[in-house]
C-alpha cells in the first residue's frame, strides 16, 4: 500500500518564502551529484503564483554549477505545492503535477523541509548555513513524522556549517 502524498503546510506565504536558502541536508538526487558543497536555492517572485528558481552549488572540482527555472503554484488553497521546471532538463513532464511540496516551514521562515509527493526527494533548507542541535532534532523528528526514513537524508557540506556528509539519523 502506498502512503498518502506528502502533506503540504496549511498555508505558505510565497513572498516570505522567497529569497536565498542553504541546502543543509537532502536525499541525494541524480541531478545534483556534481554538487560537493554550498548548495543554494534562490527564489524570486515573478508574479502571482509564479516564482523564479536558481539553484547553485560548488562542484567536486571547485567550480560553480547553476541551473535556472521557474515554479508555479499548483495548489492555490495552501500555496505550498508547486511544479518546478528547468527548461534545459530533457524529458521533463509537462503536466501541472506538483513536484515540490513545502511540508514544513517554521514561524519565522528560517527553516523549511520540502519534497515531492511520493517522498523520492527531500531537502532541508535553512536561511543560514548552520543550525542548532535542537533544530537538527526538530528536522529529524519532522522528517520521520512525514513518512521519510531520516537515514536517507545526508547532510550537505556548507561553509560555516557542517563540513562532513553524514546520514541525518546519526545526528
Instruction: Tell me the per-residue pLDDT of 115-128, one tens digit each, with 9 for 90 and over.
Output: 999 999 999 999 99
> Does residue 9 lie in a domain region?
no
> Does residue 110 lie in a domain region?
yes
> Does residue 4 lie in a domain region?
no
Q: Give residue 91's pLDDT band: very low, low, confident or very high (50, 70, 90).
A: low
Q: Note down the domain range covering 147.
A: 14-170
Provide mean pLDDT across the span 70-92. Answer: 90
Residue 124 near residue 25 (C-beta atoms within 8 A): yes
- Give the count of domains, the chain: 1
pTM of the model: 0.95
Domain at 92, CATH number: 2.40.128.20
DSSP string, the chain: -PPPPPPPPS---HHHH-EEEEEEEE---GGGTTEEEEEEEEEEEEETTEEEEEEEEEETTS-EEEEEEEEEES-TTTS-EEEEE-TTSTT---S----EEEEEE-TTSSEEEEE-TTSS-EEEEESSS---HHHHHHHHHHHHHTT--GGG-EE---TTS--S--BGGG-
Amino acid at each position: 500500500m502506498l502512503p498518502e502524498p506528502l502533506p503540504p503546510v496549511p498555508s505558505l506565504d510565497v513572498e516570505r518564502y522567497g529569497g536565498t536558502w542553504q541546502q543543509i541536508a537532502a536525499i541525494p538526487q541524480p541531478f545534483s551529484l556534481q554538487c560537493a558543497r554550498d548548495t543554494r536555492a534562490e527564489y524570486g517572485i515573478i508574479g502571482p503564483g509564479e516564482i523564479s528558481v536558481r539553484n547553485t552549488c560548488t562542484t567536486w572540482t571547485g567550480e560553480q554549477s547553476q541551473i535556472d527555472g521557474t515554479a508555479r503554484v499548483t495548489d492555490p488553497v495552501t500555496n505550498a505545492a508547486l511544479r518546478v521546471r528547468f527548461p534545459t532538463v530533457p524529458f521533463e513532464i509537462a503536466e501541472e503535477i506538483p513536484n515540490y511540496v513545502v511540508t514544513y516551514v517554521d514561524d519565522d521562515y528560517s527553516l523549511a523541509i520540502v519534497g515531492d509527493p511520493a517522498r523520492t526527494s527531500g531537502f532541508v533548507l535553512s536561511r543560514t548555513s548552520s543550525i542548532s542541535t535542537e533544530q537538527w532534532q526538530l528536522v529529524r523528528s519532522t522528517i520521520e513524522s512525514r513518512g521519510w526514513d531520516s537515514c536517507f537524508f545526508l547532510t550537505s557540506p556548507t561553509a560555516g556549517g557542517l563540513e562532513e556528509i553524514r546520514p541525518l539519523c546519526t545526528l
